[in-house]
Structure 1
Amino acid sequence: MTSYNKHFHFNHEVLGDLIGIARREDLVQFRGIPFASIPARFRQSIVATSLPASPFDATKPGPACPQIDLPYPAWWEGPLPDYGLPLALPEQEEFKCLNLNLTIPREALDKPHTRKLPVLVFIHGGGFIGGSQSIQVGGREIYDAYNLVSTSLNLQKGLIVVSINYRLGPLGFLASSHLEAFNKKHEEPVGNYGLHDQRQALEWVSKYIEGFGGNPDNVTIQGTSAGGVSCHIQSIFPQRKFQRAICASGTIPSLAAQPLDEHNIYFDNLCQQVGGIPQGEDAVAFLQSVSPERLVSTAPRLAYRPVVDGHWIPSQDLPSILSTIRDAPDIIMGSCANENEFGEVLFGSDDIRSVSPADARPRPDNIILEKAEHLLGANGMLTMQKKPFPFSHPSVIQAYGIEDALQQPGRAWRSWARLVTDCAFGIAAVYSAVAHSRRWPTSNVFLYDFQATNPFEKSPHFHGKANHGINDLCLFNVAEDLVPERHLEDWRGAVAQVQSVWTDICHQKLPWGRFNVSIDEELDLKKMGPVFVFSNGGKKDVEETLEDALSAGFPEKWSTVLDVIQDSTSTT
């Protein structure tokens, strides 16, 4: 390789001319390509059929969707390597934010119809209130697919990676009876605008990726956190345009859809917060007149939730949802061993990201209880509970050691963080895998546990932990040059393992056996498996059972929660 980051001109047979960047001799990136238009606020997006200019400048990030400012961990700092690409931070624009990035092997562009490569579509997380495909840490896009696609070429298993934006907060997920009538008036689906944006991005990929050398009949989607929830929801869409879904640290139960009447309450509150509807004015028209900055600033600070629309998402309960659909794609689910670090950030003081775990302190009890109630109340596994969770479940209280901290959670805030995040991520993934396996006993459902740890010392609270989202840092690997020498061997092995497995999945090679669960009513972790384990150095791989895969103490805790959920299911 003799040069980096040169402009690259390409003519797509349908879309026309684009200018991208050749990151190396055999790899090209296009950024900010519009995949859909938004006719008006609270309208469903429409797939783009052309580029806004010819040639279209795809050398810089496209606009991000309006959102609140979510603090993101400062994983690293340091100069870009010689092949690095300095990029400006994108502006936020409501009606131009639906754009995508492409990272493509040069061979696919040179002969787009000769060799059609598998496609991976990445959906970012952020609680449905924040995030974008272009998030930067220390001047580097954390979802830059340069390293991942380079690895796929080195493995001789070329891959095209697509990342997308979608609407967030009230612009993407506000719902009410007023909006339901508004959408029906325009003869379009009701609400869940951000999810429909994702669906339109997948439609765009299906229509146009072949012209970039991709195979529209071999598409895998992947997301983490709210991105994982998104992938799971996309998997139940009846006209889906992909074959496999990887739901990382997020499944449908993690952020279950709310009924419309619950959304109505928030809609009315939001109208009051932004000034109240003037007498005689239509509520939708009023909110359409409010600035996007003012509107998104009212978003909840933790997460937004989709709406039960009666069609795509018919209910809150996953087994009930699955009973309404005929089949599902291959689906891979899993979580990280230290998801509780995410909960500790929520429950901890403002400086928790920058101090050592020993120096971290909790927020006031009322704030912890409020945040815990918000997250547990959003959990689709727990909505079926007839009694308050966890307060009316002694076995769970004892298993997590919060007997003396029910009303004063600050006394055991780390245990509370473990309970809330176990329910949101790890247990939710197992519960979802069980639901899929029982709905389709011969379906391709796969489970993993991510145990590789964070090597970046600039964020001491996460350093040395398999924290929430560490799987994406491994997958995209944009800062290996900033990994301390003492962690480098472990990091490289973990990265190689993750990138190899994800690439194999995209090439229709599933690297471990499908998940099986006992046919009896008891959810026994000793009878569930196999489970793939991602580890430091890539030294572990497959464990026969979930109990074998999990760290000490986890099986007992998870079994207790699953027993409570199973008891509720059997009595409803």
Structure 2
Amino acid sequence: MSPDTCTVKSDKLGSLTGLTTRTKDSKPGIHYYGGIPYALPPTGPWRFRRPRPLPASYRYHGSYTGRNAACPQPQWRGTRSEQLWNEDCLQLSIYVPAGKPPPGGWPVYFFIHGGWLQFGGPNMTPEAVNPLMTETAFRAIMVQPAYRLNAFGFLASHELEADANELGQASGNMGFWDQRLALEWTHAHIKDFGGNPNKITVGGYSAGAHSTFQQLAYELYHVPAEKGIIKRAIMWSNSPGIQPKGLPEQQKQFDELLSVLGIPLSLPPKERLRRLREAPARDIIDAQAKMKISEFRATTDGSFIPPDSMAQINSGEFARRMKSRGIQLMNGECRDEHFLYREWRTSDDSYEGVYTRLCADYPEAVVQKLMRHYCGRSRDLPRGYSSWKDLFGHAYAGMQVHFLERGFQSKLANHLQPGKDLLRYRIEWRAECCGYPPEWGVTHATDQAIWFWYPALTADDKRILEPWNKAFAQFAMCEDVEWGTKEAIDIRRLRSDGKTDVVKDDANSWKEGLHVWKLLNEDTPKARI
């Protein structure tokens, strides 16, 4: 066998050949396996349906050294690479530290990529991951799954519900079901890669963090404790959000998609679905850019997401279940999240434009309350914002991160211990290699350099970030972490000067977060299924 390849063999899996990276001094770095199918193709008649597990007789054979396929997706900031597009995208990558595993096997970090649930992919190169696993305290297997996005992953309607009912299944939230199946595959097979199935941390960035919450919630309410997979959870720059739209509101989006695609709504339901399933993937992607309800997100379906998911947090039951299972959470934010958030399908520069754009993501009853929070009963631009686009960025960032993280933290802290069970943070420093315009400040995703130890970090960057990366590594490896916070309002902060301290959250931000949480997650009617 070549020194640059590695092979996993077992009776359950078959044989998978990957590649081995090298460190600067030519020692083995990590073993990489990419493009590993974890489910049957969700194509043809299986488009818009729940993922199907691989049959028990399935065996792998050959080389798995490439990248994962990417779910067809819209462009981000003017770029749209279709090279990896393939609806047969239910694949994952595995990065394994070189060397002998510890007793029981390597801890496992199951990382879910972000992208608003609309775009993105799990294709970090082995060379990019190599520094994290060879230069830092992070010594764990990392698994990154691909999952269905946008309409392919989150379309919902009465037609699809009836179609799924014929198979005895739930409809909607296909992307979350994909993630769950990938997580179950990891739990079942990671031991063959040297991993410990009893030490799995699930985490993600942005939409991946929101997905982490949904996976944790599903496990707490649908998986018996003795069969639980998740030991710890990491939610970087996202929150639980709000109770998702129910099927009546999602139907409006389904009808709009069909109209843009030229599929008559007068056709029988089965014929509408047939034409939709036969439509080219490119047409479905292009149609989304022409829609008012452009964002495909979670559905309150009564199966993956119950109609009382937010009520369970408010009652304390969610935290009590976390406590009983010993599950700990890391959750936090960047200082200037709004600069990046305002760049995704930005609203027209008016009150109506912001209102319509937010309705693409959230139930209209929630949007009405959010706009009243900012504008009162006026339709004029509030003081303190340079434009409606600026307001949209702040409102979006508040919904995704700032407001609802604080409300979530407050509810959990009634039963979980800050600094031990709850590790909350705020990042106010950024590395030059983060890749976003300097005028955006410490915006959304600029802190990924911290956690993933980007190869372009300077020596000074590494000196500043080493304590943070080490704490992340310890947490992901299910080890104890000295975090320093004591109360719900406390945060561990990386200051703009590169120093770390523990402080009280800004009083106004904390108060506003709790107010908006109550406004949107306690005083809003339950979603209709």
TM value normalised by structure 1 = 0.76
Q: Are residues 570 and 201 of structure 1, via their aligned partners in 2, closer, same or farther at CA, if it must alter by over 3 Å?
A: closer
Q: Deviations over 1:238-264 (max 9, x none)?
A: 3252111111111221x6521110111
Name which of 43, 50, 71 aligns with 2:77: 71
How many angstroms apart in 1 are the aligned matches of 2:11 and 2:497? Answer: 44
Q: Are residues 309 and 347 of structure 1, via their aligned partners in 2, closer, same or farther at CA, if it must alter by over 3 Å?
A: closer
CA RMSD of aligned residues (A): 3.6
SS at match of 1:468: coil
Name which of 390, 398, 404 aligns with 2:371: 390
Residue 298 of structure 1 and its aligned partner are, at CA, apart by 2.5
Partner in structure 1 of residue 502 of structure 2: 542
CA contact (8 A) 2:8 2:192 kept: no
CA contact (8 A) 2:131 2:453 kept: yes
Partner in structure 1 of residue 14 of structure 2: 16
CA contact (8 A) 1:437 1:515 kept: no
Residue 454 of structure 1 and its aligned partner are, at CA, apart by 3.6
The code of the aligned residue for 1:35 comes to Y
208-217 or 180-189, which deviates more = 180-189
The code of the aligned residue for 1:296 comes to I
Residue 132 of structure 1 and its aligned partner are, at CA, apart by 0.4
How many angstroms apart in 2 are the aligned matches of 1:132 and 1:174? Answer: 19
Q: Are residues 416 and 473 of structure 1, via their aligned partners in 2, closer, same or farther at CA, if it must alter by over 3 Å?
A: same
Partner in structure 2 of residue 42 of structure 1: 48
SS at match of 1:312: coil
How many angstroms apart in 2 are the aligned matches of 1:494 and 1:51? Answer: 50
Name which of 307, 329, 332 aligns with 2:330: 332
Residues 1:268 and 2:268 aligned together: no
How many angstroms apart in 2 are the aligned matches of 1:142 and 1:376? Answer: 39
How many angstroms apart in 2 are the aligned matches of 1:17 and 1:69? Answer: 36
Residues 1:146 and 2:130 aligned together: yes
Aligned length: 495
Residues 1:503 and 2:473 aligned together: yes
Q: Deviations over 1:57-79 (max 9, x none)?
A: 111102111111222799xxxxx
SS at match of 2:403: helix
Residue 11 of structure 1 and its aligned partner are, at CA, apart by 1.9
CA contact (8 A) 1:337 1:449 kept: yes
Q: Are residues 470 and 332 of structure 1, via their aligned partners in 2, closer, same or farther at CA, if it must alter by over 3 Å?
A: same
How many angstroms apart in 2 are the aligned matches of 1:290 and 1:29? Answer: 35
Q: Are residues 318 and 511 of structure 1, via their aligned partners in 2, closer, same or farther at CA, if it must alter by over 3 Å?
A: farther
How many angstroms apart in 1 are the aligned matches of 2:267 and 2:345? Answer: 41
How many angstroms apart in 1 are the aligned matches of 2:486 and 2:344? Answer: 32
The code of the aligned residue for 2:37 comes to P
How many angstroms apart in 1 are the aligned matches of 2:400 and 2:214? Answer: 16
Partner in structure 1 of residue 233 of structure 2: 245
Residue 196 of structure 1 and its aligned partner are, at CA, apart by 0.5
CA contact (8 A) 1:257 1:316 kept: no
How many angstroms apart in 2 are the aligned matches of 1:411 and 1:210? Answer: 53
Partner in structure 2 of residue 456 of structure 1: 433
How many angstroms apart in 2 are the aligned matches of 1:226 and 1:306? Answer: 11
Residues 1:446 and 2:411 aligned together: no
CA contact (8 A) 2:114 2:207 kept: yes
Q: Are residues 143 and 204 of structure 1, via their aligned partners in 2, closer, same or farther at CA, if it must alter by over 3 Å?
A: farther
Structure 2 unmatched ranges of 5 or more: 23-27, 525-529
Residue 195 of structure 1 and its aligned partner are, at CA, apart by 0.3
Q: Deviations over 1:531-552 (max 9, x none)?
A: 2223568630433x223xxxxx
Q: Are residues 364 and 568 of structure 1, via their aligned partners in 2, closer, same or farther at CA, if it must alter by over 3 Å?
A: closer
How many angstroms apart in 1 are the aligned matches of 2:107 and 2:466? Answer: 19
CA contact (8 A) 1:372 1:420 kept: no
Partner in structure 1 of residue 35 of structure 2: 32
Partner in structure 1 of residue 25 of structure 2: none
Name which of 532, 535, 538 aligns with 2:492: 532
The code of the aligned residue for 2:482 comes to P
Residue 437 of structure 1 and its aligned partner are, at CA, apart by 2.7
CA contact (8 A) 1:224 1:249 kept: yes
Residues 1:210 and 2:181 aligned together: no
Q: Are residues 449 and 142 of structure 1, via their aligned partners in 2, closer, same or farther at CA, if it must alter by over 3 Å?
A: farther
Q: Deviations over 1:465-505 (max 9, x none)?
A: 2210122232223341xx5xxxx344213442332111110
Name which of 144, 160, 165 aligns with 1:179: 160
The code of the aligned residue for 1:312 comes to F
The code of the aligned residue for 1:14 comes to K
How many angstroms apart in 1 are the aligned matches of 2:445 and 2:52? Answer: 31
Partner in structure 2 of residue 200 of structure 1: 181
How many angstroms apart in 1 are the aligned matches of 2:4 and 2:304? Answer: 44
Q: Deviations over 1:405-428 (max 9, x none)?
A: 259976465355334313321222
How many angstroms apart in 2 are the aligned matches of 1:150 and 1:365? Answer: 48
Residues 1:365 and 2:336 aligned together: no
How many angstroms apart in 2 are the aligned matches of 1:283 and 1:511? Answer: 56
Name which of 463, 469, 485 aligns with 1:493: 463
CA contact (8 A) 2:404 2:517 kept: no
Residue 209 of structure 1 and its aligned partner are, at CA, apart by 0.3
Name which of 90, 93, 98 aligns with 2:90: 98
CA contact (8 A) 1:314 1:321 kept: no
Partner in structure 2 of residue 313 of structure 1: 305
CA contact (8 A) 2:112 2:204 kept: yes
Name which of 394, 398, 408 aligns with 1:432: 408
SS at match of 2:340: helix
Structure 1 unmatched ranges of 5 or more: 75-87, 136-140, 349-362, 518-527, 548-554
The code of the aligned residue for 2:494 comes to F
